A and B are shown apart, each in its own frame.
Chain A
Amino acid sequence: MTTTEFQDPQFGTILRFAMRARQANMFIVLVLALFVGLAFGAIMIIVTQPTLLTSWSHFFHHPGGTIASSFNTVWFAYEQLFQGAVVNFHALRMLIDDPSKANLGIVLGPLSATLTYATPLIVAGLGLAIGFRSSLFNIGGQGQVILGGVLALLVGFSFHMTPVLQVALEMLAAMAGGALLAGFAGVLKAYTGAHEVIVTMMSNYTMIAVLGYLLIQPLFARPGVLDGASKAVGVTGQLPYFFSRINSSLLLNFGFVIALVAVFGVQWFFDRSKTGFELLMVGQNPDAARVAGINSRRSIIICLAFAGCLLGLAGMLELTGVDHFVTPNFGGSYGFDAITVALLGRNKPWGVFFAAIFFGAMFSGGEAMQAFTPTNIQFSLADVIQAVVVFCVATPALLVEVFHLRGGARLVSNNNTGGWV
């Protein structure tokens, strides 16, 4: 692909920019994916609103009114989505008029919620990205998050040490738990050829059952009540909040720093460490790796155990940062969201970081959308938009073809799935 034609003087500036914009790169693909996702979400909003559907039935009678009312509804929903996720402009204005602590808390609210939700997702997404990079599909995020959370909880309520020591111990316990569960799948994969997708998937459901069992045991259950909630982590085991002085509802905590450290750590692991290089090599060309003398069994187990380590850590961050106790649906959709986060971030550490923040934004924005839109557009619409965005980003070839992007072949990596054994 030569760029000489764009330097041709007969191309005007605007035209040249347009041609540049059609060059396929990840940024353009991301923007287009977001556009497609929002467009699909808009269609879903219009289709599921009875009043809008009636107005569309009178489309030829009143085309302008129909389009205007649809546009208004969609725009209002997306406005709430944005204001709930990033910043509320009315609150900002109030802060400028009256710079008080209370107003500052309201302004920081959406961003804090976004980052709080993103914190475990960053770590979990990093864990899955490690697996994806060496072509291992660890679908068992949920189970590993649960086990990590449960072990961290065990440490959290049984000890009362100095905060730093206890948090460190919780982290260790959670990471060991996640690594054990994922490493088990790795051992099965390495020695019997069991496909990790099915083993980890099944370990999810098993862990959900185990969690349900543990929560009615006297060791974990809240004394006196069997409502399915566990004892709470002791005060010394909780992660400190950043903005608790401004407003106690701002839940952004020290876990975000741990997540940032994890991002740097994983980047170092892939770019600088020998093991990371081996994993990458096994993922990209198993035959070449074997010829080069890399023990594929060892790297499979290490890779999955490391991934599980991070997922367990995600469970610990969720537990000690936000909830402080475990309910039967602990870990919720983190496992699956983390898969899509890793795909959206193209398995690169910083990509995962921003993808997780995008997911956090969609989550907190979605809740605001559900609360403030007149017909209560459900926040699972945000999930739908996310799914479409991830679909477009994970398979860029589609966007490259539909929008006639140039030079898309670079983006499309040829991946062998490689069967089940």
Chain B
Amino acid sequence: MSTASREIVTLNNLRVVSRTRSLAYGITLMGMGLLEIVWYGSTDSKLHTVIQFGYNTATVWPVVSSIWKFILVFAGVGIIAAVVRVRAFPRLARIFATVRGTRTIALLIGAYLLIWPVLLWLGINHGGQLRTMSVDVAYTGYLFGCASIIVGGLTAWKRFDRSSSGILYGGLLVFLLGFLIWVARGSLDLQLTSILASAVAASTFLMFGSLSGTLCERSGVVNIAIEGQFMAGALSSIVFASAFHGTGISMTFALLFAGLFGAFFGWILAVMALRYQANQIIVGVVIVAFCTAMTQFLTTQVLDIHQNLDGSYGLPVWAIPGLSHIPLIGPILFDQNVLVFIGFAAVIIANFALFRTRWGLRVRSVGEKPIASETVGINVVHVRYGAVILGGFIAGVGGAGFTLGPGSPFTFGMTAGYGYIALAIMIFGRWRPYGALMASLLFGFTIALSANLNLYLTQLVIPQQFITALPYLITIAVVSGLVGRIRPPAADGVPFQRH
């Protein structure tokens, strides 16, 4: 195939491209599997990894009597059967039809009830102790290596389209799990639940940041200033909370305050991009430069002297009553600080607002074809102002996740480029809130991994610096097309001029 013909998107060219891509991914995965077999398989076969499944004994139900187990399992079977055989019950079908997504939720609940005893067994044993599992490292290497090779073969077999990305991610997950087990081999326990819980916590600000990017870009404005909005939110929230000694109400207002600061910089971006039609990337970069300089100045000039303004006040950790008792999933998802729950809620609300409301339709149309929107009477500039300021607010609240989330004082440079990673996550999630949520959980996992692997550093062969660089390298891989063909909003970054 010649270079010239690849420029034209024809069905045949797409086939060739996707075929090449799937071959490349498949061969890479198979190579990784082979590496796993050779590398991990050759480790001393006496080495084990102890995986700790339970996380927080206080929140896990100690023991559930066997009769309840059976009842719940039967209930699960019943729900699944009802969903599967839904055509047999016309009345039920009507109920399912009226509320969207009921079927999925019922399926999830049923499946969960079914595997619940297994999960409980995984989490704790009869004595209420944390259940651990001892895994042979050499066998794990063979097992996961073979699994990676099989998945690689499957990927290489067919054309790369949306259906095969699931297989690819599954293969990557298998590889990562094998890697994790291999890294933690030896005496230390691999606290799987704890790592996963910290992954969710680490993905908080990424969630907010990518949501902010999604909102702005859906309306056609590139918000590269998320990093600056993070900084502003992180600094302002901790100063506000510290000034009022971290009382409950002051934490609430600190979050609001952080959001308002983010919204202020969103407003500046909006004015520059919409009123003066400046280059949005330049404005964004300059806002980041300004926020960097300001936070550095305020840190050295004010916070270093008045250290009572830079305290460590963390948001309260809520264990959601029924849900946090679920083994394995409870401590991971439902025993977190408030900001995580706000993040989940924000993603759900944003998805509903973008795809189910009139406002969302307007935002999306303004980002795709502003002239057409103008023609039907939508004020393009107003809609974009709203989206960008709201996006700034969200990013500011996300910035509070750096300080108020883990309850640490503000240090200069603590945002560490996560604002830019959030943009990559937005691309990874294909400009959709749920996609952004999933991608930020994935990135949160790599961040938590690179933070937690320091625990096992003594046995680590791979230098710590490379594991630190892992999220960044993955980001590069993501934006260079690992996720397949990406299609941004058509008018993304294009200033709108009324004709």
Q: A residues engaging B (CB < 8 A)?
A: 44, 48, 137, 139, 188, 192-195, 197-199, 201-206, 209-210, 212-213, 336, 339-340, 343, 377-378, 380-381, 383-384, 386-388, 390-391, 394-395, 397-398, 401, 412, 414-421
CB-defined contacts of B293 to chain A, threshold 8 Å: 380, 383-384, 386-387
Separation in Å of the B488 CB from the closest CB of chain A?
5
Give chain B interface residues in 226-258, CB to chain A under 8 Å. none
Q: Give bound CA distance, A83 to B75, whole Å.
A: 81
> Are A417 and B279 closer than 8 Å at their CB atoms?
yes
**Which 6 A-B pairs rank lowest in CB-CB distance, beginning with the nearest?**
A417-B493, A415-B279, A397-B276, A383-B293, A419-B492, A194-B480
Contact call A418/B465, Cβ cutoff below 8 A: no
Stretch in B34-42, B133-141, B415-423 touching the partner = B415-423
Q: B495 near A: Cβ within 8 Å?
A: yes
Are A419 and B463 CB-contacts (below 8 A) given A198-B423, A205-B472? no
Q: Is B321 an interface residue (CB 8 A)?
A: no
State whether A391 and B290 are in contact (beta carbons under 8 Å apart), knowing that A202-B475, A417-B279, A419-B492 are contacts in the complex: yes
Residue contact A210 to B479, C-beta cutoff 8 Å: no
Q: Which residue of A lies closest to B222 (CB)?
A: A417
The smallest beta-carbon distance between B296 and chain A, in angstroms, is 4
- Name the distance in Å between A387's Cβ and chain B's nearest Cβ: 4
Whether A336 lies near B292 (C-beta < 8 A) is yes
* B86 adjacent to chain A (CB < 8 Å): no
Q: Which B residues between 450 and 481 are near A, CB-CB below 8 angstroms? A: 463, 465-466, 468-469, 472-473, 475-476, 479-481
Are B279 and A340 interface neighbours, CB within 8 A? no
- Cα distance A213–B466 when bound, in Å? 8
Contacts of A415 in B (CB 8 A): 278-279, 282, 495
B285-322 contact mask (Cβ, 8 Å, vs A): 1 or 0: 11101101110111011100000000000000000000
- A193–B486 CA distance with the chains assembled, in angstroms: 9
Chain A nearest CB from B469 CB (Å) reads 4
C-alpha gap A209/B466 in the complex (Å): 7
Alpha-carbon separation in the docked complex, A401 to B283 (Å): 17
Give complex CA distance A50, B220 in Å. 44
Docked-complex contact B278 and A212, CB < 8 angstroms: no
Cβ of B125 within 8 Å of any chain A Cβ, yes or no, is: no
Given A384-B293, A416-B495, do A194 and B476 touch, yes or no (CB 8 Å)?
A: yes
B45: Cβ under 8 A from any A Cβ: no
A412/B277 in contact, CB under 8 A: yes
Known contacts A198-B423, A412-B276, A417-B494: A395-B479 contact under CB 8 Å: no
A192 with B480: CB separation less than 8 A? yes
A201 touches B298 (CB 8 A): no
Chain A facing B: main interface SS: helix
- Known contacts A202-B476, A419-B492; A48/B301 CB under 8 A: yes
Contact B469 A209 (CB under 8 A): yes
How many Å from the CB of B73 to the closest CB on chain A? 47
Interface string of B392-425 (1 = CB under 8 A from A): 0000000000000000000000001100110110
- Min CB gap A18→B, angstroms: 25
Q: Measured between alpha carbons, how far is A192 from B276 in the docked complex, in Å?
A: 32
Q: How far is the CB of A67 from chain B (nearest CB, A)?
A: 22
A383, B297: Cβ atoms closer than 8 Å: yes
Q: How far is the CA of A301 from the CA of B187 in the complex (A)?
A: 49
Is A387's CB under 8 angstroms from B290's CB? Answer: yes
- Determine the distance from Cα of A189 to Cα of B227 in the docked complex, in whole angstroms: 22
B59 at the interface (CB under 8 A from A): no
Which of A205, A395, A414 makes the CB contact (< 8 A) with B283?
A: A395
Q: Is B281's beta carbon under 8 Å from chain A?
A: yes
Specify which chain A residues have a CB less than 8 angstroms from the CB of B494 in the assembled complex: 416-419
CA distance A296 to B192 in the complex (A): 48
Q: Kindly identify which residue among A48, A197, A212, A383 contacts B302, using a CB–CB cutoff of 8 Å.
A: A48
Interface check B324, CB cutoff 8 A: no
User: In angstroms, how far is the closest chain B Cβ from the Cβ of A409?
Assistant: 11
Verify B479–A194 contact, CB threshold 8 A.
yes
Given contacts A202-B472, A340-B289, 10 further A-B contacts (CB under 8 A): A194-B480, A206-B476, A212-B465, A340-B286, A397-B276, A414-B277, A415-B495, A416-B494, A420-B486, A420-B492
* Residue of chain B at shortest CB distance from A395: B278
Does the CB pair A414–B495 fall under 8 Å? yes
Q: A397 with B278: in contact, given A192-B480, A205-B417, A380-B297 (CB under 8 Å)? A: yes
CB distance from A203 to the nearest CB of B (A): 7
> A194 to B280, alpha carbons, bound, how many Å?
18
Name the B residues within 8 Å of A381 (CB-CB): 297, 301
Question: Measured between alpha carbons, how far is A193 from B285 in the docked complex, in Å?
Answer: 21
B469 A210 Cβ-Cβ under 8 A: yes
Contacts of B473 in A (CB 8 A): 202, 206
Q: How far is the CB of B161 from chain A (nearest CB, A)?
A: 17
Given A336-B289, A394-B278, also A380-B469 (CB < 8 A): no
Say whether B486 contacts A398, CB under 8 Å. Answer: no
- Given A201-B417, A391-B290, are A44 and B479 neighbors across the interface (CB < 8 Å)? no
With an 8 A cutoff between CB atoms, is B123 at the interface?
no
Q: Is the CB of A380 within 8 A of B296?
A: yes
Known contacts: A194-B480, A202-B475. The answer to whether A391 contacts B297 by CB under 8 A is no
Residues in A neighbouring B468, C-beta threshold 8 A: 209, 212
Q: How far is the CB of B224 from chain A (nearest CB, A)?
A: 7
Report B-chain residues with C-beta under 8 Å of the C-beta of A210.
Answer: 465, 469
CA distance A114 to B285 in the complex (A): 25
Asked if B493 and A202 sit within 8 Å, CB to CB, the answer is no
Answer whether residue B427 sits at the interface, using C-beta atoms and an 8 A cutoff. Answer: yes
Q: With A202-B420, A205-B417, A387-B289 given, is the CB distance from A416 to B493 under 8 Å?
A: yes
| Residues on B with beta carbons closer than 8 Å to the beta carbon of A195 | 479
B57 shortest CB reach to chain A, Å: 37
**B313 CB, nearest partner CB in chain A, Å:** 23
Bound CA span A372–B120, Å? 66
Chain B residues whose CB sits within 8 angstroms of the CB of A419 once the complex forms = 222, 488-490, 492-494
Supply 10 A–B pairs (Cβ within 8 Å), ascending by A. Answer: A188-B476, A206-B472, A340-B286, A381-B297, A387-B294, A397-B276, A414-B495, A416-B494, A419-B490, A420-B488
Closest to A207 in B: B469
Which residues of chain B in 106-138 are interfacial with respect to chain A, using CB atoms and an 8 Å cutoff? Answer: none
Complex Cα–Cα for A193 and B222 (A):
16
What CA separation (Å) do A22 and B300 show in the bound complex?
39
Q: Which listed residue (B222, B285, B301, B490) contacts A377, Cβ 8 A?
A: B301
Task: Report the bound CA distance from A391 to B421 in whole Å.
Answer: 24
